[in-house]
Amino acid sequence: MPGLIPERFIDELLARVDIVDVVQQRVPLKRAGREWTACCPFHDERTPSFYVSPAKQFYHCFGCGAHGSAVRFLMEYDRLEFPDAVEELAQSVGLAVPHEGGSSRPREDHTDLYALLDGAAGFYQAQLPDNDAARAYCRKRGLDKDIIERFRIGWAPGGWDAVKRALGTSDARVKMLEQAGMLSTGDKGKQYDRFRERLMFPILDRRGRVIAFGGRIISSSARPAREDQEPGIPAAGSHRGDGPKYLNSPETPLFHKGRELFALWQVRQANTKLERLIVVEGYMDVVSLHQAGVTQAVATLGTATTNEHAELLFRAAPDVFFCFDGDRAGRSAAWRALESVLPRMRDGRQAFFLFLPENEDPDTLVRKEGREGFEARLKNATPLSEYFYAYLSHDVNVATLDGRARLAEHAKPLLAKLPDGAFRDLMFAELEKRTGVQPTHAAPPASSRPATSANNTPRRTLVRSAIAMLLTEPSLAQDVTLPHAFAGLDKPGIPLLTELLDFLQERPGINTALLLEHFAGREESAALQKLALTEFPGEPEALRAEFTDAIRKLAEQTTQQQLDGLIRKQSEGALDEAEKNELRRLLARKANAGPPQPV
C-alpha cells in the first residue's frame, strides 16, 4: 500500500464503509436489481454503464473500465492522493488514521508547505488587532469576533518583507515561501511580500488546511504614507498603485484556483446536511452572508465558474444558487456558469440564478435586508431552465419562423450536453413548444447492464470459475484445507488461485473490494476485475457447493496429470522404486474414486 498507512487499517476502514453511500453522495444512483447504476462520472455517456455493487463493495464501468473500491473512487472522483482519500473515508466513520514507520515519507509530501502556510495565516491573524484601519473596516462590515476567528481573517502589514522576516528564517524556508506564492520579485530581482496592507482571507482545502490566500484592499485612504519604499518594488496594494480589489495567491503545488471554492470547508462545518450552495463573487460577500446566518455561501477564486467548480458544487449539494450582479458583466458570468453546469444537470440536481439590484452586492444586501430578505430573494431566483431560454431569446423574435429557427439552432447543441434523464427530456420538450422543432436526440435506453462482448469475455475454465467465485464470496477460502491438493496442477491461473486462497486464509473477513485493492497495479489486476463481475445466481449455499465441487475437480485433475506423467515415464522404462509405488497408489485411488469428472 502507498504511504505509511497499515494494511490492517485499510481492511477495517473498507469493512465499515458502504461504497453505495460514498458514491451516492457524489453521483445520483438508481437501483438495478441487487446493484446500483448511473451514468459514469469518469467519461461522457448517455447510457448508464456504471455499476456499484453493495455485496462486493466495488464499482465498475462497462464503458471506460473504471473500477475499484471506495478509496479508489475518492482518489479518482475527488482527485485525492491515497492518504487523503483514506483520511476522508476515515473521518466519515469516525476513525483516526494510524501511521507506521514515520522515518520515511511519501514522495509527494507537502507537510512543511502546509505548516508554513498555516504559520502565515497565524501571522496575519496576530496583526489584525494592532491595525486601526483593519479593525474599523471589520466593525463597519458588522463582523464579530466569532466570524473573524471562523474564517481566520487577518491583516497583511505594510513594509516590503514582514512575512519574509517573520517566517523566512532560513534559505530553505524562504524558498518554501516562494513556492507557496507568498513572495514576488521586483524589477531589480529583489523579493518582497506578495500581500501588503490587505485584509487577508486564508483559503482552505477540503481537509481544512491553508493552501492559499486572498487579500482585499480596504480603502486607499486608510493606508498610511510610505517612507520605506524599496527601489524597484511596487507600492503597497499589489503591483502598481492600489492594484486589484482582490489579490489571490498564484497557482502553486497546493493551490489550483479553478478547482477550489472559498469557504467550502466552513460551509461543511456549519451544515451537517447540505441541501444547497450559494455561489457569490467576493470573499466579503461570503463572510457577510455567514455572519447573517446564511451559512451555505461559497465563492470562486477570482475566476469564472469552471467545469471543476461545477462538479465540486454538485458533489456537495443538490441545489446550487448562482448570485451575480444584474449588469452586463454579471449576466455574462452567469451564462458561463450555466454552460459549466449543463453537463452535470443529472436528475435530482437544480441550478438557480439570482441577479441583484444595481449597485448592490450580497454583502450590502444582507446587511440592509437581513437574512429573511436575502432568503426571500433566493426563493424567487430564476431556475436554470427559465434563464436558459430567456438568455437565448433576448435578441430573437420568436414570433417569426426565422427567429424560432435561430433559437433552435442555438439551443440544440447546448441541450445535447445534458445527461439523460427527465430534465433533459423536459428541456427538449420546451424547445419544441417554443419553436416547433422536434428533438432529434435518441430516447434514453433501458438501464440494464450492458452485455459484454463475446470477444472480451474470458473462456470460463474451471480455474477461472473458482477465482470468480472467490471474488464473489471471499469467505469461501476458509473451506479449503491446506496443503492445496491442486497446487501442482500445470494449468494457467493455478498459481494465482493458490495465492488468492493463501491471502484470504491469512486475512479472513475481507471483502471483494479489499481483495481487488490488494492486487491493484499488478499484471493480474485487469483479469481479476473482469472476473469479479461474474454473476452467480442462486443462494449462497449453492455457490459454496459449486466452489467446493470446483476445488474437488481441480484435485482430481491434479491426480490425473500426475498419473499420466508416471505412466508416460513407465513406458520409457525410467521409473524408480518410489515412483512405482506412487503409480500404484494413484491407480488404486483412481479406481476407488471412479473416472475423473469432465472440465
Where are the chain's structural domains?
Answer: 7-92, 111-224+232-255, 272-373, 395-435, 456-593
Name the nearest CA neighbour of 139 among 374, 367, 370, 371. 367
HSE value, Cβ hemisphere, 13 Å, CA-based, for 350: 12
Name the nearest CA neighbour of 243 among 304, 203, 185, 195. 195
Residue 233: its H or E element? none
Fold type of domain 456-593: DNAb Helicase; Chain A (1.10.860)
**156 has which bridge partners?**
198
The Cα–Cα gap between 595 and 45 comes to: 52
The Cα–Cα gap between 461 and 493 comes to: 10
Name the nearest CA neighbour of 21 among 84, 105, 92, 112. 92
SS (H, E, C) 352-400: EEEEECCCCCHHHHHHHHHHHHHHHHHHCCEEHHHHHHHHHHCCCCCCC
The Cα–Cα gap between 25 and 206 comes to: 15
For the domain spanning 395-435, the CATH number is: 1.20.50
Distance of CA 380 to the CA centre of its chain: 32
Q: Which CATH class is domain 272-373?
A: alpha beta
What residues contact 24, with CB distance under 8 A and at least 6 apart? Answer: 36
What is the pLDDT tens value at each position of the chain, 599 positions in all? 344 788 888 888 888 889 998 998 888 888 888 889 998 888 877 788 999 998 888 899 988 888 889 999 988 887 677 888 888 888 888 888 887 764 444 445 688 999 999 999 999 999 999 999 999 999 999 999 999 999 999 999 988 899 999 999 899 999 999 999 999 988 777 899 999 999 999 999 877 899 999 999 987 444 443 434 554 555 554 444 456 888 999 999 999 888 899 999 999 899 877 899 999 988 999 999 999 999 999 999 878 898 889 988 987 888 999 999 888 888 899 999 999 999 888 777 899 999 999 889 999 999 999 999 999 999 999 999 999 999 999 888 888 999 999 999 999 999 998 988 889 999 999 999 999 988 765 444 444 455 544 344 445 688 888 888 888 888 888 888 777 778 778 888 888 888 888 888 888 878 888 888 778 778 888 788 888 888 787 777 888 888 888 888 888 887 787 777 778 777 776 777 777 777 777 677 666 655 444 43
The Cα–Cα gap between 405 and 435 comes to: 7
**581: how many CB neighbours lie within 10 A of its CB?**
11
Name the CATH code of domain 111-224+232-255 (choices 3.40.50.880, 3.40.50.620, 3.60.110.10, 3.90.980.10): 3.90.980.10
Q: Which CATH class is domain 7-92?
A: alpha beta
